[in-house]
Amino acid sequence: MARYLQQLLDAKEPLFSLGLAQLEKATGYQAIDVALIGDIHARAHAVLRIWKLDPADSTPEEIYRALQAHADDRRLRQADFSGLVTPAGIISFNPNDVKRNTHREFETRTFDTLKARLVEEIVNRYEATGRLTRARVEEVMKDAGVAALLASQTRKKENL
């Protein structure tokens, strides 16, 4: 399961999988990662259904173009930590990435905000179990090689 999150984050292996395994063990194997992946898919697919797209028979380019065409759709907020791993690469549903990508070709798209928001969501969910402190989860994420993403999200919040 960690593979899907690893792909969305472009994280290094085996560090990332080991980090998630450590978090799962510390929380009593509550399958936080599995629930998160389910939420990622559900939110992305809900947005696509609103636009009458079927994720099963839409190409990555069609999905990307639909996102560009609906960049100002407020419903994208529900998918701020969602993305799809496709054979052609990652497609971000994060509203900030979608807006940045409106004038980019598919091959030059960005998904940096998705990655930062996803790391934040991982930290929030493991902390919410009450079995780990935020500092401990952030330490594990640092050891897993994705701390820079978390730091960039923290800086954005501080600048608001």
How many residues can be counted in the chain?
160
- CB contact at 8 A, 13 and 6: yes
Kindly list the distances between the CA atom of residue 23 and the CA atoms of 111, 136, 153, 158, in Å, as whole numbers in the listed order: 25, 9, 21, 27
User: How far is residue 140's CA from residue 114's CA, in Å, rounded to a whole number?
Assistant: 20
**pLDDT for the residue numbered 23:** 97
The alpha carbon torsion through 130, 133, 43, 149 (nearest 10 deg) reads -170
11: exposed, middle or buried (C-beta count within 10 Å: 0-12, 13-18, 19+)? buried
Domain assignment of residue 49, given as a range:
2-158
CA distance 109 to 123: 26
Quote the pLDDT of residue 107. Answer: 95
pLDDT (tens digit, 9 = 90+) per residue, 65-75? 999 999 999 98
Say which amino acid occupies 77: R
The predicted pLDDT at position 159 comes to 45
Q: What's the predicted TM-score (pTM) here?
A: 0.89
pLDDT < 50 regions, the chain: 154-155, 158-160
